[in-house]
Amino acid sequence: MWNETSENETDMATTMARTEFGTFFLPGPTEVRREILEEMLRPMIGHRVPEMEELIGRIQPNLKYLFGTERPVYISASSATGLMEAAVRNCARGRVLSLVNGAFSDRFHRITQATGLSADALVVPWGEIHEPDMVADALKKADYDAVAVVHSETSTGALNPIREIAAAVHGAGDAAVLVDGVSSVGGAALHADDWQLDFALTGAQKALALPPGLAFGVAQAPMLERAGQKADRGTYFDFHEFEKNIEKNQTPNTPAVSLLYAAAAQLQAIREETKEARWARHMTMAERTWTWVAAMRERGVNLEVLAPEGHRSPTVTTIRLPAGWTGPRLAAAAQAKGFAVATGYGKLKDETFRIGHMGDHTLDRLETLLETLEDVFA
């Protein structure tokens, strides 16, 4: 047993030696800068003390800025899936239409089914997006109370046109638009208020480059009325509890204190970079990745970006592999050269691999990764 411990300690030492930033390109969790990790060494504070209200008070305006909202932003000590469930439990009173084009949108659909609501899925092939007209047509077929949609489908690298989809939904009736922005918020343009997103959520560990364990969400005021009409909306993710507490810069239950320290520092850094500059940096890295794929093809390595041009996410690219390769084999080969990339996700695990060019990554380090992958394929 003691031997085991020392082996683990060696592993830990190896991981901690990974000091140079820019080797860990998973599309979540993403690489966290050392300064941000070190914020978590601060001492504990109680959750009903002025210091905590001050901490949340510093985080709150930067979260509002990030989401583009005047509404308070809820802070949940959960992974993002928690707020996906919260979206359905609080905002949907009747039949839900889920727009499914990959693994995470499929999860949104399954969550809806699991809450006991009637749920339909509007499924398009993985990698594709939902055209707003297609959504408007689907809404004519039944009386829908909510539409669940993923902005950036992290399994496929497709970016759904959320603004246009939200406009189509609002034009068709009064269904609420519930948006999973987990790999978009902070990495791709999203304006919760201007785009009339009734609920939008994200997780800490994707484009925000924070450690996992926090989720953030913003609900438009009518969602609170909806929540009030639901007797079975539960406790942990109750919007009324979030709302009542965040007004006082508090959280309903014990907050993830250490993660909040990290969030305060990182959200301030994001504010200083500006969200527009951050979106542009992500787009530059994405475009570089797509050009690289095209160049590799010209050199006879048959790679292909899964999502169609014009509908690709700036934060993650899913790449189809040539014959003879699998996602796990590619990820292992990259790891042997010191870089983490992801296998495909779900049913795309073997045929694809994924590069998460999001968070605090830079074009410079992405170039180094791409050079390394060239060696891997050589």
Ligand X SMILES: *Cc1c(COP(=O)(O)O)cnc(C)c1O
Q: Which stretch binds ligand X (CB under 6 A): 12-20, 73-81, 227-235, 352-360?
A: 73-81
Residue 89 or 206 having the CB closest to ligand X: 206
CA pair distance 325, 331, nearest whole angstrom:
10
Q: Which stretch binds ligand X (CB under 6 A): 179-187, 295-303, 336-344, 351-359?
A: 179-187
**Single-letter amino acid, residue 175:** A
**List 147, 169, 179, 182, residue binding ligand X (CB under 6 A):** 182
Question: Tokens 């208020």 correspond to what residue?
Answer: 193
x-marked contacts with ligand X along 205-234 as a string, rule CB under 6 A: -x----------------------------
Report which of 318, 307, 321 is spatially closest to residue 351, judged by C-alpha positions: 321
Question: Tokens 């695990």 correspond to what residue?
Answer: 349
Q: Computed over its alpha carbons, how large is the radius of gyration of the chain?
A: 21
Contacts to ligand X from residues 85-104, by CB under 6 A: 104
x-marked contacts with ligand X along 106-145 as a string, rule CB under 6 A: ----------------------------------------
Sign of the alpha-carbon torsion through 287, 288, 292, 295: positive
Report which of 104, 151, 157 is spatially closest to residue 287, judged by C-alpha positions: 157
Q: Any residues with CB less than 8 A from the CB of 240 and at least 6 apart, and which?
A: 224, 227, 228
Q: Is 80 in the site for ligand X (CB under 6 A)?
A: yes
> What's the min distance (Å) between Cβ of 272 and ligand X?
25
CA pair distance 324, 276, nearest whole angstrom:
40
Residue 97 or 376 having the CB closest to ligand X: 97
**List 62, 90, 160, 183, residue binding ligand X (CB under 6 A):** 183
CA pair distance 160, 179, nearest whole angstrom:
10
Residue 81 or 368 having the CB closest to ligand X: 81
> What's the min distance (Å) between Cβ of 150 and ligand X?
5
3-state secondary structure of 326: coil
Q: Is 81 in the site for ligand X (CB under 6 A)?
A: yes
- Under the rule (CB under 6 A), what is the footprint of ligand X? 28, 79-81, 104, 150, 154, 180, 182-183, 203, 206
